[in-house]
Chain A
Amino acid sequence: MRTGNFTSSEIVALMKNGKKAGELGAPAIEYVNECNMERRLGRPLEGESNARATSWGTVGEKYVFSLLGLEYSAVSKDSILHPEFDFWAGTPDSVCYEEATRTVGDIKCPFTLKSFCQLVDAWERGGIAGIRDYHKDGEKFYWQLVSNAILTGCDHGELIVFAPYKHELDAIREIARHDDTGWIFYADNEELPWLHEGAHYKNLNKFRFPIPEADKQALRKRVEECSKYLVQPFLIPQTL
């Protein structure tokens, strides 16, 4: 479902402007071209990453979900498509239902303590504006949430940033035991990121913010505009 489509995690590229007002920036053009390559290939340009940071994130995400209250719902293990545009997909981690508010969440479990601290520090400096201004991936995280908010009909976004306390590592290893992430199961404590309980940084950090309707409209407009440049996807024969 993600192959050849605009996905929330990469959609920030489409929001980059060129030198003239309203002109597509170079990253936007490159991203559209990459989507078209995937459409012609009928397969993703890059395979699934087996990098440690990725598998740590996957296992961590499962653990974090167990810490969240019943108001949080794991949306789906699969990607979801925009109800009107079949070239727009995303994989939100959670949706939180609280009275009149619906919040789409993205769980971040950085593999390095430095990344974890950079994200928390950026929020502490200025909320979501701080993350967008001071974190190297801040814009990417923001537009990913805006995109997923559109796909799920949410009005708030939430970055859930997690690093475990030392005593939580065993529970995470237990999850890893059932996944194909044996290295976490066998890893020493010092090979994994963990925090001292009671120090400055907390394990579970929930950074929630309202998503302006204007940003949703701007993203929708830009996605529609870029979709004009998408080619027809290669239909994979059933026998292959």
Chain B
Amino acid sequence: MEHQVTNTLERIPVESAFAINSFEHAQRVAKMLASSDLVPKEFKGSVQNVMIALEISNRIGASPLMVMQNLYIVHGKPSWSSSFIIAALNACKRFSPLRFELTGEGDKMECYAWAFETSTNAKIVGPTVTMAMAKAEGWIDKNGSKWKTMPQLMIRYRSAAFFGRLYAPEILMGMHAQDEVVDMTAQVVGEEIQPGADLENGITVEALQALYNEKLNLLTKPEMERAKRILENKEVDSYQKLFKFLNEKQAA
């Protein structure tokens, strides 16, 4: 067991915030940044989140504040702002500044990002993003979707994200653009809660009520009363437990 731990630590680069010789210092820096009023709310008061931002900034060579300003936590997943992706690709010096080829209008609009690779001078073209794709993937129909109001900007942002993920995944570190994550998933963006996504852990009152109705005939009288009490009194702390209990309730 001890041997495994040593090996794991050895694999972490020395300059990493998580390296054994710099962890304590990084933790102190993280504590200071977490208490600053200038950091975004996802990082304020959260030493853990700041430590992750420090690690990322260390790996991509950007300032911690820049990383924090452009790193969004959506559904608990870190994701980059699209403008940061473009800036990071432009600054990495492996490519010329990113360019976009936009054709068509309305439903026929398409776009791809391109750049010259500096080592070979070859033109590199990213995948084409089309409005038909946006519609088929359901990005347009999301509540509050920016694809309805600013499609020309969104299509460029998405093209840049696709380009980056294909040609420079090490810069994105496997993360998606923030607007991509919003498009691909539902309900929560940061602290903003959309209608229907009532409470904890993505469990909605509606979903819980539906599950309760579905399992009603499998419940004993005390179980029914408890579930009813939790739902009627909106006992948020018990939602997770009730959800698990109802899910596991099977016909005898």
A residues whose Cβ falls under 8 Å from a Cβ of B: 65-66, 69-74, 97-99, 177, 180, 182, 185-186
Contact = CB atoms under 8 A, between A and B. Distances in A.
23 contacts: A65-B237, A66-B240, A69-B226, A70-B223, A70-B226, A70-B227, A70-B230, A70-B241, A70-B242, A70-B245, A71-B222, A72-B238, A73-B229, A73-B230, A73-B233, A73-B238, A74-B237, A97-B229, A180-B45, A180-B46, A182-B47, A182-B48, A185-B48
Given A66-B241, A70-B241, A99 B222 contact: yes
A70 B233 CA distance: 13
Given A97-B229, A99-B222, A70 B238 contact: yes
A97 B238 CA distance: 14
Given A73-B233, A177-B48, A180-B45, A97 B240 contact: no
Contacts of B46: 180
Interface of B is mostly: helix
Given A69-B226, A71-B222, 12 more contacts: A65-B237, A70-B230, A70-B242, A72-B238, A73-B229, A73-B230, A73-B235, A74-B235, A97-B225, A97-B229, A180-B46, A185-B48
Contacts of B240: 66
B130 to A, nearest CB: 40
Contacts of B230: 70, 73
B221 to A, nearest CB: 10
Interface string B42-70: 00011110000000000000000000000
B242 to A, nearest CB: 6
Interface of B: 27, 45-48, 222-223, 225-227, 229-230, 233, 235, 237-238, 240-242, 245
A175 B47 CA distance: 15
Contacts, number: 35
A73 B233 CA distance: 10
Contacts of B233: 73
Contacts of A185: 48
Contacts of A74: 235, 237-238
Contacts of A69: 226
Contacts of B48: 177, 182, 185
Nearest to A182: B47
A99 B241 CA distance: 20
B86 to A, nearest CB: 32
9 smallest CB-CB distances across A and B, nearest first, come from A74-B237, A70-B226, A182-B47, A73-B235, A71-B226, A182-B48, A177-B48, A180-B45, A70-B245
Contacts of B47: 182
A177 B45 CA distance: 12
B187 to A, nearest CB: 18
Contacts of B229: 73, 97
A66 B200 CA distance: 14
A71 B235 CA distance: 12
B246 to A, nearest CB: 10
**Which of A66, A70, A99 lies at the interface centre, i.e. has the most chain B CB atoms within 10 A of its CB?**
A70
B17 to A, nearest CB: 13
B12 to A, nearest CB: 15
Nearest to A77: B237
Contacts of B227: 70
Nearest to B245: A70
B80 to A, nearest CB: 22
Contacts of B223: 70
Contacts of B235: 73-74
Contacts of A71: 222, 226
A196 B238 CA distance: 28
Contacts of B222: 71, 98-99
B244 to A, nearest CB: 9
A9 B220 CA distance: 37
A66 B238 CA distance: 8
A172 B46 CA distance: 17
A142 to B, nearest CB: 26
A180 B235 CA distance: 23
Contacts of A70: 223, 226-227, 230, 238, 241-242, 245
A104 to B, nearest CB: 16
A70 B237 CA distance: 11
A72 B233 CA distance: 13
Given A74-B235, A177-B48, A97 B226 contact: yes
A98 B46 CA distance: 39
A71 B230 CA distance: 9
A92 to B, nearest CB: 13
